[in-house]
Amino acid sequence: MKKTLLIFILIFSSVYAAFAAMPLDRIADRLVMVGFRASAYDDADLDILKSQIEKGLVAGVVLYGYNIDSREQTRKLIAGLNSHNHTDIPLLIAVDEEGGRVQRLTSAKGFHDEPSPQYLAEHYTPEQAEKIYEQMAKDLADVGFNMNFAPVVDLNVNPQSPVIGAIGRSYGADTETVVKYAEAFIRAHRKYGVLTCLKHFSGHGSAMTDSHMGFTDVTDTWNEKELEPYKILIKEGYADMIMTAHVFNANIDPKYPATLSAKHIKLLKDMGYKGIVISDDLQMGAINDNFGFDETVKKSFEAGNNILLFSNYFFYEKRYPEKVRKVLGSE
């Protein structure tokens, strides 16, 4: 087992290095990351996705709880999908594994449970947290994940925020705490060659509503201090990738939510960030209920998102890669 894990670590450390050295435009050329519904590699439902991977039409895939049954099943599924990638650009294999309420690799499926970010920050030092996160990263690397859509670096501005504070997804209300634990999270993942993703830019911690469910306006609750974790983590070299939020903030952009807003993403560029920007799931209610598909694709791409994420969680559409290219005129 130790030998097998060492091989995985070496493989995915090389994947991490490959992304670090890869020109941004080559990675972003794939435009789209998608979810899917199957859990078995030989499920006919995956035939279209396999073809899209072979044609270089997807930047990667994201797995949810229903894609994961056990360690061995997940390992086979990921290895099978990777076998269809015939280019030198690694296929991103991602998951949302934060700990607490948001974890897909649970003990019931043969992995390890981790506490929520809030609980961890309240009960463990950053050094202890890093050890816990090493186990998380080890689990991810062992089955083939090379991307974790975490850590959450939203400040806990509103402890009752339904999708952040109320469910323990924030490390705390102050920048120093959030940065220390986020760095521990990222260091642990880098030890196992797993990329991480800061989210949700430009700050979801003050939101009174859930952007999964519908329009989310933070104009009157957002504070500029919510940018501070990003400024520090970018400056210190801890930003592998950054995910935009579907929050509307009229003080920054009076027309579009952050994911569709060039004004929001310019804030990242002004901080010196030169890496990949990925949208949050474009099927979420804040976007899907308020913008048409063509406008969503055009505005999110023009705003500066390099990869557009479609979870296929809320509804299923197998041809997103082709549809996005058609909208952008890059078929």
pLDDT tens for the chain, residues 1 to 331: 433 333 333 444 455 555 555 555 565 567 899 999 999 999 999 999 999 999 999 999 999 999 999 999 999 999 999 999 998 889 999 999 999 999 999 999 999 999 999 999 999 999 999 999 999 999 999 999 999 999 999 999 999 999 999 999 999 999 999 999 999 999 999 999 999 999 999 999 998 876 785 678 999 999 999 999 999 999 999 999 999 999 999 999 999 999 999 999 999 999 999 999 999 999 998 899 999 999 999 999 999 999 999 999 999 999 999 999 999 987 6
From 142, 240, 253, 280, active-site residue: 280
CB 259 within 8 A of CB 188: no
189 is catalytic: no
Give me the pLDDT at residue 3, please: 39
CB 97 within 8 A of CB 130: no
From 25, 212, 220, 264, active-site residue: 212
Task: Delimit the domains of the chain by residue range.
Answer: 2-20+31-328
Query: Is CATH 3.20.20.300 the classification given to domain 2-20+31-328?
Result: yes
Give me the pLDDT at residue 6, please: 39
Q: β-strands 198-201, 195-196: how paired?
A: unpaired
CB 109 within 8 A of CB 68: yes
Residue 185, CA distances (Å) to 67, 89, 123, 230 in order: 24, 25, 15, 15
Residue burial 122-158, b: 16+ Cβ < 10 Å; e: rest: eebebeebbebbbebbbbbbbbbbbbbbbbbbbbbbb
84 is catalytic: no
Indicate if the alpha-carbon torsion angle 284, 256, 277, 188 is positive or negative: negative
| β-bridge mates for residue 166, sequence order | none
Cβ neighbours, 10 Å, residue 3:
7
